[in-house]
Amino acid sequence: MRIVIAEDQFLLRDGLIRLLEAYGFEVAAAVDNGDDLLTELRASRPDVAVVDVRLPPTFTDEGLRAALQARRELPGLPVLVLSQYVEQLYARELLADGAGAVGYLLKDRVLDGGQFTDAVKRVADGGTVMDPEVIARLLARNAGTRSPVARLSPREREVLELMAEGRSNAAIAQRLVVTERAIAKHTAAIFTKLDLQPSDDDNRRVLAVLAYLGQQ
């Protein structure tokens, strides 16, 4: 699988290259600023891009904007955005086009190599990966007593959280140490309670849940 990396800090860039190559990815290019990133994405059309939000020259949100621009030109281009801090605002912008194949993670998650590369693969396959901290805040916002989310049982909330992070039923089952069938029952109940259209397509499902949680 071909990857383009955009990260301006040398140590982290080097670390990412090593990590991804160790897990069998092919690093097609590693750039350190927003303009080069855009050029590279247009030219090499990788299977997935791993991009830091903050890049030169402005050190603001160069990476994010380059990623959004690239996705406008190449719809559905899988991009995993890494950041030192997560903002719901940025998550919304990434999810806005509804095409999926997008991820938004705290750089802390890179510390666990297995989970990180798993996330990269999920995004490359068209899935959505949201950092648990973004999801936690999103759920906290929806926790008002009048919101349908409050009517979910604690177990259902756990499942909802993991679904919103972008995990498949199998992954959720493994995480919560229950059978996949139990998870399927929970998700059906969740979709009914939230009045959402159930979907077999995992990717569509995540987007639906995130869209639902994101709206106010």
Partner 1 sequence: MNGPVAPAASPDSPARSARRRGAREALGSVLLAPPRALAFFGLSLAGLVLLVVAIGPVVLAVSGLWHVIQDISGQGLGGQDGQDLLNALVGLACCRFVLPTALIVVRWLASLTRRLAGRWCAVAIREAYAPEPVSAATARGSSEGLLDLILRGHGRITYRQRITWLLNDRATWKDLLWLAVSVIAGPVLLIAPIGLMVGGMAAFLAVNLNGFDRTSGAVLVVVGVAAAPWLLRAYVGLARLVLAPSESAALEQRVAYLAQTRQESLDTGAAELRRIERDLHDGAQARLVAMGLTLDAAGRLIDTDPAAARSLLIEARDASAKALAELRDLVRGVHPPVLADRGLADAVRALALDSPARARVTGSLDGRPPAPVESAAYFAVSELLANVFKHAAARSADIDLRHSLGALRITVRDDGDGGADPGRGTGLRGVERRIAAFDGVLAISSPVGGPTVITMEIPCDLS
Burial-class residue 155 by CB neighbours within 10 Å (0-12, 13-18, 19+): middle
Site for partner 1 in 31-60 (CB under 8 A): 54, 60
Maximum Cα interatomic distance, the chain, rounded to a whole number of Å: 50
- DSSP SS3 for 52: strand
CA distance 98 to 101: 9
Q: Which of 19, 27, 126, 137 binds partner 1 (CB under 8 A)?
A: 137
Q: Which is nearer to partner 1, 140 or 184 (CB)?
A: 140
Minimum CB distance to partner 1, residue 82 (Å): 13
In 3D space, the residue among 84, 92, 27 whose CA is nearest the CA of residue 54 turns out to be: 84
By CB under 8 A, residue 161 contacts partner 1: no
By CB under 8 A, residue 143 contacts partner 1: yes
Minimum CB distance to partner 1, residue 210 (Å): 13
CA distance 11 to 120: 20
186-190 long-range Cβ contacts below 8 angstroms, 24+ apart: 186/155, 186/156, 186/159, 187/159, 187/163, 189/156, 190/152, 190/156, 190/159, 190/160, 190/163
By CB under 8 A, residue 11 contacts partner 1: no
Q: Which is nearer to partner 1, 7 or 202 (CB)?
A: 7
Minimum CB distance to partner 1, residue 185 (Å): 30
By CB under 8 A, residue 73 contacts partner 1: no
In 3D space, the residue among 37, 72, 71, 78 whose CA is nearest the CA of residue 54 turns out to be: 37
Q: Which is nearer to partner 1, 197 or 216 (CB)?
A: 216
Write the DSSP assignment of 17-35 as a string of letters.
Answer: HHHHHHTT-EEEEEE-SHH
Q: Which is nearer to partner 1, 144 or 154 (CB)?
A: 144
Minimum CB distance to partner 1, residue 209 (Å): 17
Q: Which residue, chain included where needed, has tokens 């955005």?
A: 81
CA distance 186 to 204: 17
Site for partner 1 in 75-114 (CB under 8 A): 84-85, 87-89, 92, 107-108, 111-112
By CB under 8 A, residue 205 contacts partner 1: no
By CB under 8 A, residue 197 contacts partner 1: no
Residues lying near partner 1 in the complex (CB under 8 A) are found at 54, 60-61, 84-85, 87-89, 92, 107-108, 111-112, 137, 140-141, 143-144, 146, 216
